[in-house]
Structure 1
Amino acid sequence: MNIDLSRRGFLRLAGAGVAATSLGAMGFGGAEAAEQAHVRAFKLATTTETRNTCPYCSVACGIIMYSKGDVKAGETAQLLHIEGDADHPTNRGTLCPKGAALKDFVHAPTRLTKPRYRAAGASDFQDITWDEALDKIARAMKDDRDANLIQVNEAGVPVNRWTTTGFLAASATTNETAWLTYKTVRSMGIVGFDNQARV
């Protein structure tokens, strides 16, 4: 069969075909409209959505965590899904490979969920409560500060420097928390103060 088609005729036919398929793809066809009218339920519709900050590096990407279980009713929440927060100004919904694997980090069997302490000379760690851990840290800091605080330098000028203890702050935090951390550390006289972003 021989088709006699000029160049202009071919362009008209091709343009009409493109227009027809474009209209169909936008939902103007009957079959497409009926198919798109049926929307299945979202798999995360019955979960609790919680916004947080990725704990890995100093970029402080925003994440959204989806969990099931009513914590207020005493149930243990089960984390089902983690994704980047599209409304977060830092990452705008994207996550690096470590951030994308956060769910595995949360569910890892080796993840520590309580403080552990190894006594001097012991070979094993033992679980302790948060109150015990904070008391041990406070006692060690108080003893070190009492023994090593430099109140006056060689010229007799008051300096209140504590140079034997350092403090490393987290960078994945708010400006208000960072300000409060800085003021607390400096008010104790700690000179060695740095931020996780520089590590």
Structure 2
Amino acid sequence: MGRFSFLEWPVVRQFTSGDHLGRGPAVASRRTREIAPRTADADSVTQSICPYCAVGCGQLVYVKDDKVIGIEGDPDSPISRGRLCPKGSASEQLVNSPGRQYKVLYRAPRAKDWEELDRDKAIEMIADRFIESRRNGWQDRDADGKPLRRTMSIASLGGATLDNEENYLIKKLFTAAGAIQIENQARI
């Protein structure tokens, strides 16, 4: 490291360079001028939408060697204009977390351990249980004989991470199945 010079003081650089308000390069140190953004060496940048709530903030996803290296707000997004909330800023952890699950896990009633399950078998189990629950809780008419055509044994609580289209389809599915207890976290 060389000897310190009075001429390297930011206030001196500020007045000698014409940057009187100190908002330009005069106040940047040599180290600051030498560093680069962590996303500068990304192979590609993809526009995406934040998965956390139904607002739909735009994100820029930086990828290097087929791995997400960073996620930032998309300045071209008319919704968020380049800003992300703390959860959106941390959404890179969803992809790169070492605890992320890639397989369906099932724990049988009163079992101690989880077991891997084939995805098709898991979907079939869910469908069978849904149909059985609907059949067992079906109310066709009330005590006075008025038509009800509903089930009280199925309810839906949607999450705020779903977009409008997904919520619409879920509402249609559960209404068609006869469920009347349909709620969404975003409305609560």
| TM, length-normalised to structure 2 | 0.70
Matched with 1:63 is: 59
CA distance in 1, matches of 2:110, 2:165: 41
- Alpha carbons 1:50, 1:66 under 8 Å: kept: no
State the distance in 2 between where 1:85 and 1:149 align: 48
* Residue aligning to 1:180: 169
Query: Residue 165 of structure 1 aligns to a residue in which SS?
Result: strand
What corresponds to 2:75 in structure 1?
86
Tell me by how many angstroms 1:123 deviates: 0.3
* Structure 2 Cα separation of the partners of residues 136 and 61 of structure 1: 35
- In structure 2, how many angstroms separate the alpha carbons of the residues matched to 1:196 and 1:61? 18
The residue identity in structure 2 corresponding to 1:137 is: I
- The Cα shift of 1:45 comes to 6.0
Question: What is the total number of aligned residue pairs between the two structures?
Answer: 159
Q: Structure 2 CA distance, aligned partners of 1:86 and 1:155?
A: 60
Q: For residue 175 of structure 1, report the CA deviation from its aligned partner.
A: 3.0
Alignment of 1:2-81 (within 5 A): 21=18, 43=40, 46-55=43-52, 57-68=53-64, 77-81=66-70
Q: Following TM superposition, by how much is the alpha carbon of 1:50 offset from its aligned partner in structure 2, in angstroms? A: 3.7
Shift of 1:139: 0.8
* Partner in structure 1 of residue 90 of structure 2: 101
Gaps of 5+ in 1: 1-17, 26-41, 70-76
CA drift of 1:172 comes to: 3.3
**Aligned Cα RMSD in Å?**
3.0
Higher helix fraction (1 or 2): 1
Residues 45 and 60 in structure 2, CA contact (< 8 A), matched pair in contact too: no
TM-score scaled by length of structure 1 = 0.67
Does the aligned pair in 1 maintain the 2:42–2:62 contact within 8 Å?
no
Q: CA deviation at 1:60?
A: 4.0
What amino acid does structure 2 have at the position aligned with 1:138?
A
Q: Hey, what does 2:25 align to over in structure 1?
A: none
Q: 1:155 to 1:58 in 2, by over 3 A?
A: same
1:57-99 Cα deviation digits (max 9, x unpaired): 4544332222245xxxxxxx31121112233344322112222
Question: Which protein shows a greater Rg?
Answer: 1
Shift of 1:44: 5.3
1:117 touches 1:125 (CA, 8 Å); kept in 2? yes
Report the Cα offset of residue 119 of structure 1: 0.7
Percent sequence identity is 31
Query: Which stretch shows the higher mean deviation, 82-91 or 162-171?
Result: 82-91
> In the alignment, is residue 147 of structure 1 matched against residue 146 of structure 2?
no
Counterpart residue number, 1:192: 181
| Cα separation, 2, equivalents of 1:160 and 1:194 | 19
Moved more, 46-55 or 159-168: 46-55
The structural deviation recorded for 1:168 is 1.8
